[in-house]
Structure 1
Amino acid sequence: MTLTGYDAAAVRRDGFAIVENVADSATVAVLLDELAAVDGPGAIRRRGSVHAVRNLLEAVPAVRDLARSAAARALVEPVLGAECFAVRGILFDKTPDANWKVAWHQDLTIAVRERREVPGFGPWSEKAGITHVQPPAEVLRDMLTVRVHLDPCGTENGPVQVIGGSHLHGRLSPEEIDEWRDGNDAVPCTSPIGGALVMRPLLLHASSASTVPDHRRVVHLEFAAGDLPGGLEWHGRC
């Protein structure tokens, strides 16, 4: 399957791409229905409403189907290769009760089955009962994120903003992040329903709070190209 306008070379060069029509209306409807029923340790609530859900690959069959779909594979395989697989799924939702902003950062942690002391891996943390760790930068360079929008996301909905090319420079110090932020233009990644932002984890990104009191639901899928060293295992593999 090919997706019109998708340029894998641009993802490698710029660290991101915005693609429409990754999930059709029927797929979005099924995802919304199954996500609405999710509760338990992976659901994060604020003022009674769920604004994030971790462990989606385990908890929601429709998310597993999305990660395995021809459309998702068409985005990921040209960058990571045909043997790649999904390793984590998260729901993010900005609502009037959970309308946060996120400072400029890189995505530096992965979810694993259990802690093993392997050189270059650390520090360690736990989120929703799942072990997380910061791996070496080379692991993150062989990963790709696909963020599928289940609601329209315009400039008023607190979209992710990115700084193109920043992923090519490894892990950045706080001082280097400030330099990138001050010296480069940020690109707001708006999307219609069913569209997706494809991005490298090491790409600098941020988001502002939404100015519109409505949902901004996004299924965040992470893909990897291979196994982890030293007996470490991805927590989810789909």
Structure 2
Amino acid sequence: MKYNNNKIELEENGYSVVGELYSKNEIRQIIKCLENVEHNKNGFLKTKDLFAIRQLINNVPELSPLLFNANFLELLSDISDSQYFLTKAIYFDKPSESNWFVPYHQDLSISVDKKIDLENYNYWTFKKGQYGVQPPIKILEDTITIRIHLDDTDKNNGALKIIPKSHLNGITRADSKNWNLENEIICDVKRGGAMLMKPLTLHASNRTTNGKQRRVIHLELNKHKLDEPLKWLEHFNIQA
């Protein structure tokens, strides 16, 4: 298994960095596809500090064959089982002049098709026309995040900072004093590479200080059906 070490790192440390998942030409095609999208669709967000496209595959379906190339399929096969499917896809563009930063947090919300009263589904939100909810912890524990980098990213343009092994502690209160910040790692990722992460891994990002852009495609994958009648909002089968 080509990516077996990445699987081990992801499970043990809560993150892993993969290099050269996409060629230079594939990255150019992905960027061109994103640049040609009309920006008047639902799910688009634009401020001076951030441009984002939610429900990315729904809004830009032509990205699918570009993102899910042979390397991606091999990676997914090596780090997960065949039942995994896409549950969320977002494009982030942190412009070169961005002053936007994100403090340490866990990704605790999933996107679903409706709001309904179900046991162990809590903290409902409704943003930009879609419902979010914190699901049972097993769903979060089995989620795999893959962040595809369209630019070289380091500490100077918002590379993620993470606390290794923090995903092993379950859900962590925002005011917790046990974050072990002295163990902080900055995850540099080269253009065409990807960062793998567990959503319960504590992570943050700084402001841009070097005038360089940071564009990332954020994918979340899972293998669980939600409790009926709730469904994943963006369920998309990647593998046959």
Q: Which residue does 2:69 correspond to in 1?
A: 69
Question: Which residue, out of 210, 222, 232, partners 1:234?
Answer: 232
Q: Which residue does 1:19 correspond to in 2?
A: 18
| Matched residue SS, 1:34 | helix
| Matched residue SS, 2:183 | coil
| 1:139-178 equivalences in 2 (<5 Å) | 139-176=139-176, 178=177
CA deviations 1:7-38 (Å, max 9, x no partner) are 21111110110010111122211211121133
Opposite residue 152 of structure 1, the aligned amino acid is D
Distance 1:226 1:77 in 2: 17
| Matched residue SS, 1:114 | coil
Distance 2:102 2:142 in 1: 24
- Between stretches 30-39 and 199-208, larger displacement belongs to 30-39
| Matched residue SS, 2:122 | coil
CA 1:63–1:117: 2 relative to 1, 3 Å = farther
Q: Which residue does 1:133 correspond to in 2?
A: 133
Distance 1:27 1:85 in 2: 22
Q: Provide the identity percentage.
A: 30
| Matched residue SS, 2:156 | helix
Cα pair 2:96 2:214 within 8 Å, conserved: no
| Alpha-carbon offset, residue 210 of structure 1 | 1.0
- Cα RMSD after superposing both structures: 1.9
Aligned length: 234
| Alpha-carbon offset, residue 62 of structure 1 | 4.3
CA deviations 1:97-141 (Å, max 9, x no partner) are 543111000000111111122111111112221111111211101
Q: Which residue does 1:91 correspond to in 2?
A: 91
Cα pair 1:44 1:52 within 8 Å, conserved: yes
Q: Which residue does 1:41 correspond to in 2?
A: 42
| Alpha-carbon offset, residue 152 of structure 1 | 0.9
CA deviations 1:192-218 (Å, max 9, x no partner) are 110100000100000110102231000
CA 1:13–1:66: 2 relative to 1, 3 Å = farther
Give structure 2 stretches of 5+ with no counterpart: none
| Matched residue SS, 1:152 | coil
Distance 2:29 2:185 in 1: 30
| Alpha-carbon offset, residue 234 of structure 1 | 0.6
Cα pair 1:51 1:98 within 8 Å, conserved: no
Cα pair 1:80 1:224 within 8 Å, conserved: no
Distance 1:63 1:201 in 2: 24
| Alpha-carbon offset, residue 66 of structure 1 | 4.7
TM-score norm. by structure 1 comes to 0.91
Cα pair 1:144 1:224 within 8 Å, conserved: yes
| Matched residue SS, 1:92 | strand
Is 1:224 the equivalent of 2:222?
yes
Cα pair 1:123 1:134 within 8 Å, conserved: yes
CA 1:67–1:223: 2 relative to 1, 3 Å = farther
Opposite residue 78 of structure 2, the aligned amino acid is P
Opposite residue 46 of structure 1, the aligned amino acid is T
Give structure 1 stretches of 5+ with no counterpart: none
Opposite residue 84 of structure 1, the aligned amino acid is Y
Distance 2:106 2:67 in 1: 22
